[in-house]
Structure 1
Amino acid sequence: MIRIKEQIVSGLAAYPKALRLIWTNKLTKYLVLPVVLNIILVIAFIFSGVGIGDWINSIIERHTENMNGWIQAGMVAIKIVLPIIFFIVFIFIGGTIVNVLMSPIYTMLSEKAEAILTGNEFPFDAKQTLKDIWRALLIALRNTAKQLLLTALCLLLNLIPVVGSVISICLIFIINAYYFGSGFMDYTFERWRYSVKDSLNGTSELKYLAITNGAIYSLPLYLFCGAFIAAFIGGVSAVAATISQIEIKGKTRR
């Protein structure tokens, strides 16, 4: 059993190592497309808010004969507030959406990282690659479903004033961190030919590593700029998870 402290330290230390590995080995090219798609996704969310706001305003205009000042002010508010709401929604669920969409690229990035770190070669096999990508997507969707369900349950704690809200926020952050980290770790587990069950058991055994890895990924998402670079952070997180898993695997074999 790997100690809690060792898992947390490994998770924290892996990020600067991941950045160096990506930079020195010119793996940044694998992150260009994800970042571009990420930015497009954020902009699409914001403009969806604008479009829906215009649609709501058009309905109000059609069904309102006397456009008094209050109604006009409300329409302006809708046009301003909805894009902001959509952006906030993206901040909370964008990391999950990005991970689902980018899982094929993260799979390749994780594979490249392990090849560099261990010297192990992974010959290209189209059939196996498609299987790995499909598995990564299924894991991402499974984690997403569990995240959303547990998050919804935690939101009920807000019915308890103050204390419930604080507990809810903390639990939601930990839950999201765990499932994000779990997803990043599975890229390596699938390459080691772990079954889905074995992968889940492996993540459970290294739960504090998963939480640490996912927490570092999650934190920037709550910043304005974080939503735009979630895909980049995700790529780094996938490599960081691979580094930690290889290091811990090496220690347990001694």
Structure 2
Amino acid sequence: MLKDIIIAIEAYFKAHQFIRKHNLWKWIVVPGIIYMLLFCFSMYYFAHTSNNFILWLNLKTGLKAWLDKMNSGVLAFFFTLGSLILWLAMMLFYFSLFKFFFLIVGSPVFAYLSEKTEAIIEGKDYPMNLSQMGKDIVRGIRIALRNALWQTVYAFS
């Protein structure tokens, strides 16, 4: 396992050297900024929606009215703790699926970057082929959807 960590760290630094040498920063930084903005905005709205869902669930089941009628501090504490645990579980689910959403949205850029990297490594200049790029985009989306499905299965099991 330590060997794999060392290999990963070495690959990370080699990738940075490759990016710097071939001036590919714009293909790394721009998607990174877009990822950050999408994450922040969607995190805000998902957290807000999660709160509203928990409140709706409590009102729909009558739990809120029952808790108000009981007027117990201990029950209120457990109710708040349960709501917090549900909110955290929903946020964990969000975190596990957001990366796949971004991979799907960013697949055209990643397909182009992959072709550009391959052309640099092999030293050949490939002409822009929209049909191949379309196939790469569809392949990337399919892989991301498959992995998102497996992640969901693992999250619920």
Q: State the TM-score, normalizing by the size of structure 1.
A: 0.45
**Residue matched to 1:61:** 64
Extract unaligned runs of 5+ from structure 2: none
Output the CA distance in 2 between the equivalents of 1:121 and 1:37: 33
Identity of aligned residues (%): 25
CA distance in 2, matches of 1:92, 1:77: 23
- After superposition, the CA RMSD in angstroms is 3.5
Is 1:136 the counterpart of 2:137? The answer is no
After superposing on structure 2, the runs of 4+ consecutive aligned residues of structure 1 that deviate more than 4 Å are: 7-12, 62-65, 146-149
Give the CA deviation at 1:112: 3.0
Q: Which has the higher contact order (CA 8 A, sep 6+)?
A: 1
The letter of the residue matching 2:109 is I
Residues 16 and 49 of structure 1, relative CA distance in 2, 3 Å threshold: same
Alpha carbons of 1:112 and 1:37: their partners in 2 closer, same or farther (altered >3 Å)? farther
Q: Secondary structure at the match of 2:69?
A: coil
Matched residue type, 1:66? K
> Which residue pairs with 2:107 in the alignment?
103
Structure whose CA Rg is larger: 2
Query: Where do 5+ consecutive residues of structure 1 fail to align?
Result: 156-254
Per-residue CA deviation, residues 39-93 of structure 1 (Å, 9 max, x unaligned), is 3333333233212122123233356671512454344335544332222223444
| 1:73 equivalent in structure 2 | 77
Give the number of aligned pairs.
148
Cα 1:75–1:94 change in 2 (3 A) is same
Q: Could you tell me which residue of structure 2 aligns to residue 113 of structure 1?
A: 117
Query: How has the CA–CA distance of structure 1 residues 75 and 148 changed in structure 2, closer, same or farther, with 3 Å as cutoff?
Result: closer
Distance (whole Å) between structure 2 residues aligned to residue 113 and residue 126 of structure 1: 17
